[in-house]
A = this chain, B = another copy of it.
Amino acid sequence: MYHHVDGRDGIVELLRERVASAIDPGTLELTPWDEALEAWARSYRAAFAAHPRAIPLLMTSPVRAPRVLAQYERAVSLLLAAGFDRALIMPLVIALENLVLGSALDLAAPETMWELTEHAPTPHLAEALAAVGEGRADRAFEVGLTAFMNHARVVREDG
């Protein structure tokens, strides 16, 4: 429980608990470990995408909220139990968070993110944008998440 609010840091932690409370804690209980990690990442992205303005603040302030620390403890325990080298666990978790939070910020971007102009033609960019169609943010997240999960599986087997 986190009831004591102590100045600015305390307010940041209340905000962190509020945003993180939308992450489904059941995801980290799934088996096998890779299904759990992937489901956690999707739920984490959805929770933070609902509060894009909070992302830069929460990413650059130390994590103190006990309930949020408990969620990291659960994620780390999952990867330890799955057999990952302990020195690799935080780099993996942080890499996944960078992707998740970058993608959550991207969900707050306009659907038309590149405004092309006749004054400076960019024909290949126009072609690539036309080919991707709608839902570019979700498709990019899927690419990043697939890349991450495949890498995590390989790293675990090598460890």
Chain A contacts to B: CB under 8 angstroms: 52-53, 55-56, 59-64, 66, 69-70, 72-73, 76-77, 79-80, 86-103, 105-106, 108-110, 112-117, 119-120, 122-125, 127-129, 131-133, 136-137, 139-144, 146-148, 150-152, 154
Q: Which of B76, B98, B109 contacts A102 (CB 8 A)?
A: B98
Q: How many copies does the complex hold?
A: 2
State whether B86 touches A131 (Cβ < 8 A). Answer: yes
Query: Measured between alpha carbons, how far is A59 from B61 in the docked complex, in Å?
Result: 20
Query: Measured between alpha carbons, how far is A124 from B52 in the docked complex, in Å?
Result: 29
- A–B Cβ pairs within 8 angstroms, 15 of them: A53-B56, A55-B56, A69-B116, A80-B124, A87-B132, A88-B143, A90-B136, A91-B139, A91-B143, A95-B147, A100-B102, A101-B105, A143-B151, A147-B150, A150-B151
